[in-house]
Amino acid sequence: MHSPKVSIVGGSGYVAGELLRLILLHPHFSIKQVVSESLAGKPVFRAHPHLRRFTDLRFSWLSELEECDLLFLALPHGEAMRRIDRFREIAPRIIDLSADFRLKDPVDYERWYGMIHPHPELLSQFTYGIPELHREEMKNASLISSAGCNATAVILALYPLFREGLVDCERTVIEVKVGSSEGGRRGSPASHHPERSSSVRAYKPTAHRHIAEMVQELGFGKKIELHFSATSVEMVRGVQATAHIFLEDDLDERAILKLFRSYYGNEPFIRIVRERSGIHRYPDPKILYGSNYCDIGFVRDGRSNRLVVISALDNLMKGGAGQAVQSANIMFGFDEKAGLEFPGLHPV
């Protein structure tokens, strides 16, 4: 196979910067264009300074976008669905990193996003972009909708338990703590340093849009209730999800560990964290910066049927660009780990 030519639309954002870094270092893909209407004509390091002298590429106008083998869409929500016909003319394969095609039921877009989806006929054609769940579909997919960062952390943490029907479907309570990069590149009062610094801000105690993805992927035909809250904390990258679930059966930690290993033991980017002591005995996003790993750990409450499952990932990698490249590797039949084996940094 020739080296597939890859382009990125929406190239000035943080996730796009990670996509560009990964593709520039990828053993198979080669970058063709990076589109940014606001920075067209300027070198890409203007938005992504870590790439200075690493590439001479300049941002292109959308009108200059040429045919390529794979198109990554890193646009604000609502933009990909509006232009999808044009993008499908440009590339035979598309990976969209927005929420525009993640949900299968068009009614859910009205409920969670307050809009009528302009292309409901395409929703069933997009494969939901968590490789660990949908690897086989990805092998033959031409359209992939990469999963949300919070949704990825929660779904991977809970998938084996919900898949096996071990959970009280009405009592799951989940809290995620997220870094500032999850809010994107554009500034706001919430990201202004004097307001953000030293803050622990509950920004979405209820009704977070990613709940729709979680319910879709964890329901398995049942009605489930997920009580989800999101809190912004003082870090740049990272998501840590803490899920409180209530077991239907009296499983001990050994049985739970066996279950997680049966699902994830051979997964290249999921690590089950089981340490009896030390400060790293539970998943921590800090040690995952720049990596495509999702770490998952758990603690069984000996006084009740509560199980606490903790997961962590880098929202710009396993929750964004890394997961999208992982999906692209599968789509093209490459080694799934290609370009993604960076282990993270410690200390940072």
Residues contacting residue 49 through CB under 8 Å, at least 6 positions apart: none
Extended beta strands in 189-254, E state = 201-204, 226-232, 239-246
Q: What does residue 89 show for φ and ψ, rounded to 5 degrees?
A: -75, -25
Crossing angle (nearest 10°) for helices 211-218 and 149-163: 20
Residues contacting residue 8 through CB under 8 Å, at least 6 positions apart: 16, 19, 20, 23, 31, 33, 34, 35, 71, 72, 74
- Respond yes or no: is residue 294 known to be catalytic: no
* Separation CA 311–CA 296 (nearest Å): 4
Q: What is the amino acid identity at position 305?
A: N
Helix (H/G/I), strand (E/B), else coil: 98: coil
Q: Pull the structure tokens for residue 1.
A: 């196979």
Q: What is the amino acid identity at position 8?
A: I
* Separation CA 334–CA 318 (nearest Å): 18
DSSP 8-state class, residue 246: E
Catalytic residue selected from 68, 149, 169, 294: 149
CA dihedral 163, 166, 172, 176 (to 10 degrees): -60
Q: Length of the chain, please?
A: 348
Catalytic residue IDs:
149
